[in-house]
Amino acid sequence: MAVKIFFCGDFVNCTGNSNFIDSELKEIIKNCDFSIVNFEAPITYKDMNPIPKVGPHLYQSRESVFFLKQAGFNIVSIANNHIYDLGQKGLEETINELERNGILYVGGGKNFDEAYEAKFIERNKIRIGLLAASENEFGCLYEYKERGGYAWIFHPLIEDKIRETRQKVDFLIFIAHAGVEDIFIPLKEWRERYRRLCDLGVDVVIGHHPHVPQGYEVYNNSLIFYSLGNFYFDT
């Protein structure tokens, strides 16, 4: 018995492009049991109110969620440095739209506890746990706050969640949004962090954020993909 999972990197569809992938790739995605992408920014809503921050604010069309669903995606990570660019309202609108389209999300939430919650998927009697977290930028829940946001990859809860989730699944996948942008080799500190996660029980680390592909390695009995690069990014 096996489970077939498609992973890819960062996705931003601000122009509402419905034809962002070709038919051959769409067929591959739809033929997998689970297809997972990093949903890099919130969707737009009426009277948007961007948060104060350094750097660009990113957002996506409301239709981008439906277009992902049409393409065959059924899971997204929202643990990234742009998902809170439009504040609590933008995050909640995004989560609501994902739920309306039947897309599971991990790594973020409307409140602190939800952001750190593990999600579970199962196929062919194989149970898989999903955790996701990002480095600390705008919107990160690096400490308890009375708002939503995304999980911090260095929060002590992360290691607790890995140990706890490991006991409930056949395989554990950790989705990480971190690293230096536009370089092709991961820094030593990220290699050490991802190896630490594997030592705790993670079977596969899926990385993105640098916007370019980086290397992968087999570490003991685990796989680490340091960055898958951008999947679709139309800004």
The rounded distance, in Å, linking the Cα atoms of 118 and 105 is 10
* pLDDT value for 1: 82
Mean pLDDT, to the nearest integer, of 18-39?
Answer: 96
Other beta carbons within 10 angstroms of residue 68's beta carbon come to 26
The 10s digit of each residue's pLDDT in 68-94 is 999 999 999 999 999 999 999 999 999
Residues 6+ apart with CB under 8 A from 16: 61, 63, 64, 67
The reported pTM is 0.97
The residues facing 105 across adjacent strands are 76
pLDDT band for 213, please (50, 70, 90 cuts): very high
d(CA 181, CA 142): 21
What digits encode the pLDDT tens for the residues 156-193? 999 999 999 999 999 999 999 999 999 999 999 999 99
**What is the distance between the alpha carbons of residues 95 and 90, in angstroms, rounded to a whole number?**
9
